[in-house]
A and B are shown apart, each in its own frame.
Chain A
Amino acid sequence: MLRRAAIDQGASGEIYSPAELRAAIEGFSDTDWLRVKKAALYFSGRCGREWQDLRNEALLRSLDGRRKCPKDVPVTTFLGNVMRSIASEADPTDGHLPLSKQIETQQETPSGLTSLTDPSDPVASTMDAQQLIARAIGAFDGDVVAETLFEGTVDGMEGEELRNLLGLSQKEFDSKRRFVRRRLNVQFERDRHGKR
């Protein structure tokens, strides 16, 4: 959450030049690309694009300067958020309307992101949002601790408060958070293959 806030504000105000951004992406390790792929898989299911298309579009918009990366944000995180933003634009396959001009404007902020204090629609409709949350909960196969952790998180509970509620050690809590993220990845990749 802190990282996201820093991205929104573009904390130091300094941004990478296109050449610096190019050099940073050129230096990505295999695991950096794996993170980018996992983020693309996660967001592609909701926007009707193939994950490669989403990744490529994010790369294009970053390299041609349409999206600007603050220097205090890891470039992989920045690319993940660019994909998130592109995924919220429109679903070309099911007739969703493009989001408003206001959102387009927000996406031209230094981070290329929407603001948390005035969140744009991450999906095209209430039904989509509710379905997404329901599908996410379905990913935990009745694991009550994972479900509670997830629901507490999306309801806005802070980490420490949630950890105490679940009665987990820090190590157990971190491990469960990782499990939840991994299940979300698997679930939304599954959705992508068998899209409604």
Chain B
Amino acid sequence: MASDDMKKANEKVVRMDDFFLDELFSTPDQDLLQEASEDGIDVAAVGNEGREAFEGAELIVGRNRLSVVRQEMAKDQKKSPNSIDRARTQSEVNAILARNREAQSKLTMAARNESGDQDDDMDSIIEDFAELGAIGRGDKDQDA
């Protein structure tokens, strides 16, 4: 019973809203302007306020889009070497180091001064080399 009453009451409101919108949006401009004049409404001011609201909304939408782009860029930059095909890239790094004894010596000294373990050092080296383009990332996803 209560559910029936609820349905009927809601249907009435839906029809009232339909009626209201149909009437409002089908009223000719001339009649609407006459009505506004009788009600003391400054139609030009209403128009200006609407346009300001539109510009404000555009600004917010633009900012939100920029924020999404920034977040995606930050996500790309944080791309972890864990997602890299480590065995393949490490082998490429080793090959480069083997060809360049001086670089190998510097890297070994640098590694000694770091408190992190060797794996961490190698991750960092792989990421640096990948960013420099000296080696391919060899992403597992891309290879799949």
Contact = CB atoms under 8 A, between A and B. Distances in A.
Nearest to A36: B50
Interface stretch (A9-17, A104-112, A152-160, A163-171): A152-160
Interface string B29-70: 101110110000101101101110110111011001100000
A25 B47 CA distance: 12
Interface in A79-106: 80-81, 84
A148 interface: no
Nearest to A73: B25
B23 interface: yes
Contact of B14 (A43, A122, A180): A122
A116 B57 contact: no
A43 B18 CA distance: 12
B17 interface: yes
Interface residues of B, number: 44
Interface of B is mostly: helix
A137 to B, nearest CB: 10
A129 B12 contact: yes
A59 B22 contact: no
Residue from the set B5, B13, B23 with the largest chain A CB neighbour count within 10 Å: B13
A181 B24 contact: yes
Contact of B56 (A28, A56, A122, A126): A56
**Closest 5 pairs between A and B when the two form their complex, measured CB to CB:** A33-B50, A30-B47, A129-B9, A181-B23, A59-B57
Interface of A: 1, 3-4, 22, 25-26, 28-39, 42-43, 52, 55-56, 59-60, 63-64, 74, 76-77, 80-81, 84, 116, 119, 121-123, 125-126, 129-130, 132-133, 136, 150, 153-156, 177-178, 180-182, 184-185
